[in-house]
Amino acid sequence: MRFLGKVWRLLVGVKDGLVLILVLLFFGLLYAGLSAKPYAGTVREGALVLDLAGTIVEQPVSAKPLDLISGGSSMTREYRLRDLLKALETASTDDRIKAVALDLDIFTGGGQATLANVADALGKVRRSGKSVVAYSTGYTDDSYLLAAHASEVWLNPLGGVLITGPGGTNLYYKELLDKLGVTANVYRVGTYKAAVEPFIRSDMSPESRQANEALAGALWENWQQDVLKARPKAQLAAYVAAPAQKMAEARGDLARAALNAGLVDRIGDRGAFEKRMVELVGADDGDVPGSYNASTYDAWVGANPSDNAGGAIGVLTVAGTIVDGHADLGSAGAETIVEALDQGLDRGTLKALVVRIDSPGGSALASERIRQAVLAAKARGLPVVISMGSVAASGGYWIATAGDRVYAEPSTITGSIGVFGILPSFEGTLQKVGIGADGVKTTPLSGEPNVLRGIAPEAGRLLQMGVESTYRRFLAIVSESRKIPVQRVDEIAQGRVWAGGTAHQLKLVDQFGSLDDAIAEAARRADLDPDDVSAAFLEKQPSFFEEIFQSTQREEAEPAARDVFSRIAGQPQLMLMRALQDARHILAGPAIQARCLECPSAPLRQTREKLSAGALLWELIAR
């Protein structure tokens, strides 16, 4: 009877837990329903407000209801690039929109090629005769790249413009691993495959430094050209070269220094900015001073969706780290992507395929799985065009070889044609703490890879040969698709990363162009009129609950630093967290990877888990 009583109490506990979860879900849905703003009826004549309180990405991470309830949802909002571009495109032609209010006060950035696309769209709005007015307390590289394309750039009197340019510090773990007794067993091909260097060195190798300096220089040159094209009178070079001098000339007033250098047009607080918007689009009927007629971004996107399920051009998105199996949006799960492609093909309405890649790579096996699926679509008679986003490197470039034509941006990060594998072993750690490890073998590979006693030479040779075989396969694929001799591919490969402009010169990409340009090219190859076709985006669709909770998430706003010095001061911690997360992903990933860690990645996707650098470092050590 005592045992039955314990079982009964256990069942009651399970029941109470399930009831609690259901109650939380109910109130979560109720809150979402009450707080969600219907799209119909919220579009108004006036300004389109782009309050970019977050980051711009190719594919936002899908919202998880249970994460939201438990406090594990995304801290910063992610704006989908194609939605933002569609919003600006329609705003440029819709008579209801008189101006665009570009609020960058807590904007957290995006990839350089991604931001260049948005900047071009802002330019189109201006060319249509409508004003684009930008406002922020502080501008840094990413936010200023967008603001430079506005017709008016406003800066808070207490703010400033601080441009740092590409570059930064990486973490190297060799001495730490030595102290812990951890052996990093590395298997790689490619002189410039620097992804494994943090585990075997305490500093950057000369080869990696050379490659990274060339890449940073190319990105910096593209950034400056983009800004100066939009603001040719700005004294950008002098301001960047000696910001302290410019500030001293303005008697310590950073905002005035930016104005004197022609980087901003007006200095004023938010109230002054709102009064300017009232002058442009008219005052709202409400009693709030400074309120102006406007449509919210969410309302406008809801009324002008970027997707057309019946479109003739399928767009398959490969965004995030490429992983085996299934994955949520924001990560490139091979099986998830292949299933989305198969479902699109089964509809029978697609005439061509565009593969949009914004990924630093990942699993070599998963990359090949996606490439084979694209080749299967090609075998069915569909033209295939590749469109590269901010990053399409390593495994991302592996997939790109399936295309008939490859489009990239000058600031796209691509190449990194190389392969590596890394397995940590802990024989030194066990020795330090006085723990022995022993056993028996029936074959040379019994118990391998042995992370307790050290990986046996036979197993190590097999892993190295596997990496070399995968690299040769990579070279052959690139050689065949790009019509470049294997020897030449090997010369420009070696894991080296290239900016889009250099990649074009090396014939790794065919031409510069956006996703729209790639869609137009796919239409022409399918004998369709580019002006009469639309795109159908082939990706995993969020569930009903995910959509509901996504709308709830839109209403949330996390506190964020607005002044420019606080933003720059926070960058080292974000870089530390990113480096540690990358290390964790490498150690937890497949044995053989085609991944680029040298590539400047999208902004770190933080979570409410409050993962500190210390917690991530402890987790890395615990592995």
Q: Which residues are tagged catalytic?
A: 193, 394
- CA distances to 188, 232, 289, 390 from 110, rounded to whole Å, are 30, 24, 33, 9
Are 157 and 269 in contact by the 8 Å Cβ rule? The answer is yes
Angle value at C-alpha 320, between 315 and 324, nearest 5 degrees: 95
Q: Determine how many CB atoms are found less than 10 A away from the CB of residue 154.
A: 24
For residue 282, give both structure tokens.
Answer: 């008219």
In whole angstroms, give the CA distance from residue 379 to residue 398.
18
For residue 346, give both structure tokens.
Answer: 């089964």
Cis peptide before 457 (omega within 30 of 0): no
For residue 475, give both structure tokens.
Answer: 């070279």
In whole angstroms, give the CA distance from residue 547 to residue 542.
6
In whole angstroms, give the CA distance from residue 571 to residue 243.
19
Which residues on adjacent β-strands are paired with residue 422?
186
Mutual orientation of helices 564-588 and 613-622 as an angle, nearest 10°? 10
In whole angstroms, give the CA distance from residue 513 to residue 181.
49
Angle value at C-alpha 491, between 490 and 492, nearest 5 degrees: 95
* Rg, C-alpha atoms of the chain: 26
- CA distances to 376, 415, 492, 561 from 480, rounded to whole Å, are 17, 16, 15, 50
In whole angstroms, give the CA distance from residue 280 to residue 470.
59
The CA-to-CA distance between both ends of the chain, in Å, stands at: 44
